[in-house]
Chain A
Amino acid sequence: MKNKLFLVILSIVVFFAKNSFALIEVDITRGNLNPLPIAVSSLYVESKTSEALEETDLGAEISKVVETNLLRSGLFNPLAKDSFVQKPDIAHLKPRFEDWKLIKAQALVTGKINIANDKLRVEFRLWDVLAAKEMMALAFTTVPTNWRRIAHIITDKIYKRLTGEEGYFDTRIIYVSEEGPKNQRIKKLAIMDQDGANTKYLTLGNELVLTPRFNPTNQMVTYMSFFRNLPRVYLLDIETGVQEVVGDFPGMTFAPRFSPDGKKIIMSFAKDGNSDIFTMNLETKEVERITEHPAIDTSPSYSPDGKYISFNSDRSGLQQIYVMRSDGSDVKRITFGKGIYGTPVWSPRGDLIAFTKMYKSNFYIGVMRTDGSGERLLTENYYQEAPSWSPNGRVLIFYRETKSGSQGEGFSATLWSIDLTGYNERLIETRTDASDPSWSSLLTK
C-alpha cells in the first residue's frame, strides 16, 4: 500500500517535470490502397520547324500515353487536365506547387520536347508536390516515329520512382488473333505494344498457329503451327519474318518455351500417344529428353535462374502441377487442392508460379509459391486460361472465352490482365478476338 502511494507521488512529480518525457511512438500499420493522384501535364513543345507541323501535338500525345499507362496500372490516378492551372512550359521550369496541391495532386510530371535535325528529344521531370521539390529529371533522344516508346520508357521511370517496382510499360505482347466461325477459326500470330498500339500480324492465317512466346531478347518467337498439317514447334524471326521448324521430330511437338538464357527451346513431344518434355539446343541442335513417363507431360516453364522446370502432368490421374530440376530429376508434385491444375508459369521474380485451375465447371487464374503453398485465386470465369507474367512479376495477362449458343453464336475470345493482388482486372482491347497472350521482357534494359 505504501509502495503504491510512493509510485503515484513519484509519477505525479514526473508528470510535471519538463523534458522528462520519452519520445511518444505511434505505430501506423494501416494506410489506404488508393491510387496515387498524379498530374501529368502535356509536354511543352519547344521548337516547331516547318516539317514538324504534324508533331505539334506530340507533346500532348506523349503525355496521353503516359497517363493511360499510369491509369491502367491501377496504382495511379491521373488527374483531369482541364483542372490544371499552370501552362506546360512554365510548369516545367518552375511549378507553383500550391496550384497543384489545390487539385489534390501528390506528384507532377512535366516535360518538354524538341524536334530538330530529324531527332526527337524528350525531357521530363517528376515533382513531389507535397515536398515541393524535384524527384527526377531525365532526357531521351530518338527518331520522331519512335515517340511511343519514349512515352513508355518515361512511364517506367515514373512508376519505379514512385512504387519501388520495376515498370512494365516498354514491352510488347504477342498473341493469337482469331476470326471466323467457332469450329473453323482463322488464327494468326499478332504482336502489339502492351497498350494495344502498333498491332502487326506475323503470319497469314493459312494454318493454325498456337501458343507463341518471346525469347529473352524479344527478337524471336517460338510457337506451334499446323503448317502442312504437321503440328510442330516453329521459330520465327520478328524482324525478317522467316519461320523454321524446330528440330526434326518424328511426331507432334507443342507447348514450346525458351530457356532463360535463350539458348534452348523446351517443349512437349508426343510419340505413340504419349507426350514427354524435351529440350533442343538451338545452336548445337542437340535434343535432350527431360521426362520419361507414360503420363502426359506438357506446359513446361523454366524458373528465371534456369535451375528448375514447372510442368503439367496427369501422372497422378488428373492434371496437376509438378516441379523438377532442369535435368529432369527430383520431380515433385506441388498442387494438392481441390480441382485440376494446368498451365504453370514461373514468375520472372522467381517467387511465384501462376496457373489455371478448373473446379466445379469454373476456371480460375491463380498464383502459388513455388512449393505449392499459399495458393491464391485471383479471378473466376466460365472459361479462362494460360496466364503470362509481366516482366516485373506484378501483372498477369490471360485470355477468356465466352459461352456460345448451339450454333456457336455469341462466342468471343478476349485478353485480360489482372494485378497480383487480385485488383485491377482489365480488358485489353485488340482489333480481333484474341487468345494465347505472352508478355515480352522490357525492351530497354
Chain B
Amino acid sequence: MFMGNSIRSILLVIMAAIILSACATKTTKKPGDYEISKISGDTYTGEETVKYLATGVPDRVFFATNKSILTTKARDTLRKQAAWLRKNKNINITVEGHCDERGTREYNLALGERRANVARDYLMTYGISGNRISTISYGKERPVNPGSSPLAWSQNRRSVTIKAN
C-alpha cells in the first residue's frame, strides 16, 4: 500500500515535468497568437495601425494603461519624427492624444492631453520649436480600433502626429 502510493506520486511528478517541458516559447508566428505577441508590457508594439509621415517615419507612439511614459520604441519613433521635421522646416504638426475606452470620460480627456504633450515635449528637446507643434486631446472619443479587447485598447492608447498644413 505504501509503495503503491509513493509510486503513484512519483509518476505524477514525472508527468508534470514532461508537461512543463512542452511549454516552450514559440519562436514561429502562428495565426492564433498574433494578438498576444504584439503587446509588450501592456504597450502596443505592432505595425498594424501605424501610418507614415514619410518613409521610415511612423506617425504614432503607444502607451501602457493609465500611463503617459514614453517607451524606448516611442522615443525612437519621435526622434525620427524630429529629424523629419528638421528637414522640412515649413511643416507644422498637431499631436493628438488618445485613450482606450476603459476609463472615465473626463479623466481620459486629461490623460490624452498629457500623452500628446509628452510627445510634444520630447520633440522639442530635439530642437523642434514649440510654435510648430500644437496639441489636442480626444480622450476616448476617437478610437482607431472599435473592438473591446486588450489588443484594441492597446492600439487606441496613442499619440498621433498629424500634418497641420
Residues of A in contact with B (beta carbons under 8 Å apart)? 181-185, 208, 210-211, 224, 229, 231, 252, 254-255, 268, 270, 272-275, 296, 298-299, 312, 314, 318-319, 342-343, 356, 358, 361, 383, 385-386, 401, 403-408, 411, 435-436
B side interface size, CB within 8 A? 32
Complex interface residues of chain B between 8 and 45 (CB less than 8 A to chain A): none
Return the chain A residue nearest B115 by Cβ.
A273
CB-CB under 8 A for A403 and B148, given A185-B141, A229-B136, A231-B137: yes
Q: Mark B131-165, 1 if CB is under 8 A from A, else 0.
A: 00001110001111111110010000000000000
| Cβ of B66 under 8 Å from chain A | yes
What are 24 sample pairs from A and B whose C-beta atoms fall under 8 A apart? A182-B143, A183-B146, A184-B142, A252-B137, A254-B106, A270-B109, A270-B110, A270-B113, A272-B121, A273-B118, A273-B120, A273-B121, A298-B107, A298-B110, A299-B106, A299-B107, A342-B103, A342-B106, A343-B106, A358-B103, A404-B146, A406-B149, A406-B152, A407-B147
Q: Chain B residues near A296 (CB, 8 Å)? A: 107, 110-111, 114
CA–CA, A298 and B118, complex, Å: 19
The number of A-B residue pairs with CB atoms under 8 Å apart is: 108
User: Max chain B CB contacts within 10 Å: which of A181, A183, A210, A436?
Assistant: A183
Question: Contact: A274 with B114, CB < 8 Å?
Answer: yes
Question: Contact: A182 with B105, CB < 8 Å?
Answer: no
Question: Contact: B147 with A408, CB < 8 Å?
Answer: yes
User: Max chain B CB contacts within 10 Å: which of A182, A224, A229?
Assistant: A182
CB-CB under 8 A for A404 and B106, given A273-B118, A275-B113, A296-B111: no
| Cβ of B51 under 8 Å from chain A | no
| Cβ of B101 under 8 Å from chain A | yes
CB-CB under 8 A for A436 and B105, given A270-B137, A273-B114, A318-B66: yes
CB-CB under 8 A for A273 and B117, given A299-B104, A343-B106: yes
Question: Contact: B104 with A319, CB < 8 Å?
Answer: yes
Instruction: Say which residue of A270, A272, A275, A386 sits within 8 Å of B105 (CB atoms).
Output: A386
> Given known contacts A273-B118, A298-B106, what 5 new A-B pairs fall within 8 Å (CB)?
A211-B105, A270-B137, A296-B114, A342-B106, A408-B146
Residues of B in contact with A (beta carbons under 8 Å apart)? 66, 68, 101-107, 109-111, 113-114, 116-118, 120-121, 135-137, 141-149, 152
Distance in Å: Cβ of A58 to nearest Cβ of chain B: 41
CB-CB under 8 A for A273 and B104, given A182-B146, A404-B146, A411-B146: no
Q: Chain A residues near B66 (CB, 8 Å)? A: 318-319
Distance in Å: Cβ of B122 to nearest Cβ of chain A: 11
Return the chain B residue nearest A208 by Cβ.
B141
Question: Contact: B147 with A231, CB < 8 Å?
Answer: no
Question: Contact: A406 with B147, CB < 8 Å?
Answer: yes
Return the chain A residue nearest B113 by Cβ.
A270
CA–CA, A407 and B116, complex, Å: 26
Q: Chain B residues near A185 (CB, 8 Å)? A: 141
CA–CA, A314 and B143, complex, Å: 23
CA–CA, A202 and B33, complex, Å: 47
Question: Contact: A252 with B109, CB < 8 Å?
Answer: yes
